[in-house]
């Protein structure tokens, strides 16, 4: 039987990224010895030049330079997008400029596959081990699980929640003496292999995803994520990555996961708009409107939210995508 205890990410945050490189393999071994499958090891550092050097030397890890200013994005755009390095642009404060929106459309035009590595953030929380929202505040490491898999042998929501807490308690107990341990981001991070789908989990435990949106199912989950995690860090919410969850992608194609529904779920339980498909002919004005809305909601509720649109660089509204990305489901594009 496949191991249901899965760590999606161990992320080391370091001003000097070479320190993280030395340490992260040790943590991975320690977590694996507890019976967990570790999917990815990651490193997040604001030292852009050092990350650019390390990334090709140690390709077994994933890399992020965290939150960048518009000036830094423009300065390093070509180098960052030539590598598999994630980054984000914080739009929490002030008017959102056309230049900020232009970052997305430049990616779509020049390096569409790197839209996967970029997100806009609002009221972001540091030390989240999930990309592209990860941001360095202090040195150390955090852990994020793929906790949807823990539901595979459960028939009730409460059983799944208890299984999550058992993992949090186990990891926290074994790592609490490590001064570098920042905590556990208890966010629910789905994936597109069926057993890891959050929509599949909801359909099985609640009955129907579309109906669940207007019940308290997701509120119960996020309340548990925030109150029962013994060592919380980062975002600690529900992720609704439209194209990373195969069944959520099907809901999108069926018209059941509009941008409005995504925003509604994000407002009460989620963490924003994530891997949401966008046509190459979508208007920048529409994107600006959505960013302005999310900015306002994040500020009003002091809630971390993000917006990550993804494009294959070719498909227009009404056409089918061809991402050629193992993590993204292809869909027929709908207008935002």
- The pLDDT-based confidence of 3 (bands split at 50, 70, 90) is low
Domain with 31 in it: 6-241
Asked whether residue 2 carries a pLDDT value surpassing 70, the answer given is no
Asked whether residue 1 carries a pLDDT value surpassing 50, the answer given is no
**Stretch 264-277: mean pLDDT:** 96
Count of structural domains, the chain = 1
Say if 317 falls within a structural domain: no
Say if 267 falls within a structural domain: no
- The pLDDT-based confidence of 91 (bands split at 50, 70, 90) is very high
How far apart CA 16 and CA 26 sit, in angstroms, is 17
User: How deeply is 59 buried, as exposed, middle or buried, from its count of CB atoms within 10 A (0-12, 13-18, 19+)?
Assistant: exposed
Side-chain-facing half-sphere of 231: CA atoms under 13 Å? 24
Say if 322 falls within a structural domain: no
| pTM of the full structure | 0.96
Say if 111 falls within a structural domain: yes
pLDDT one-digit tens code per residue, 132-177: 999 999 999 999 999 999 887 788 999 999 999 999 999 999 999 9
Sheet holding 181-185, edge to edge: 181-185, 140-145, 6-13, 37-44, 62-67, 85-90, 118-122, 305-310, 272-277
Under 8 Å between Cβ of 138 and 13:
yes
């Amino acid at each position: 039987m496949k191991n249901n205890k899965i760590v999606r990410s161990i992320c080391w945050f370091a001003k000097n990224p070479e320190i993280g490189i030395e340490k992260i393999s040790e943590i991975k071994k320690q977590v694996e010895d507890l019976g967990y499958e570790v999917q990815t090891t990651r490193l997040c550092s604001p030292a852009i030049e050092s990350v650019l050097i390390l990334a090709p030397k140690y390709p077994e890890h994933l890399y992020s330079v965290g939150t960048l200013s518009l000036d830094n994005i423009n300065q390093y755009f070509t180098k960052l997008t030539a590598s598999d390095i994630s980054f984000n642009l914080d739009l929490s404060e002030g008017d959102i400029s056309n230049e900020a929106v232009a970052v997305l459309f430049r990616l779509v035009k020049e390096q569409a596959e790197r839209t996967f590595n970029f997100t806009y953030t609002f009221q972001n929380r540091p030390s989240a081990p999930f990309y592209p929202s990860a941001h360095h505040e202090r040195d150390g490491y955090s852990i994020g699980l793929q906790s949807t898999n823990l539901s595979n042998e459960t028939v009730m929501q409460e059983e799944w929640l208890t299984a999550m807490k058992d993992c949090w308690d186990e990891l926290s107990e074994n790592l609490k003496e490590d001064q570098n341990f920042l905590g556990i981001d208890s966010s629910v991070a789905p994936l597109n292999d069926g057993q890891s789908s959050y929509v599949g989990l909801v359909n099985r435990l609640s009955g129907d995803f579309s109906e669940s949106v207007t019940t308290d199912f997701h509120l119960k989950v996020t309340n548990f994520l925030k109150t029962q995690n013994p060592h919380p860090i980062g975002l600690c919410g529900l992720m609704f990555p439209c194209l990373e969850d195969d069944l959520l992608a099907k809901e999108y194609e069926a018209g059941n996961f509009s941008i409005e529904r995504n925003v509604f779920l994000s407002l009460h339980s989620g963490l924003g708009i994530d891997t949401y498909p966008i046509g190459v002919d979508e208007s920048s004005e529409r994107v600006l409107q959505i960013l302005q809305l999310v900015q306002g909601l994040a500020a009003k509720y002091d809630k971390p939210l993000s917006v990550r649109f993804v494009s294959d660089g070719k498909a227009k509204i009404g056409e089918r995508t061809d991402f050629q990305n193992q993590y993204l489901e292809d869909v027929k594009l709908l207008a935002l």
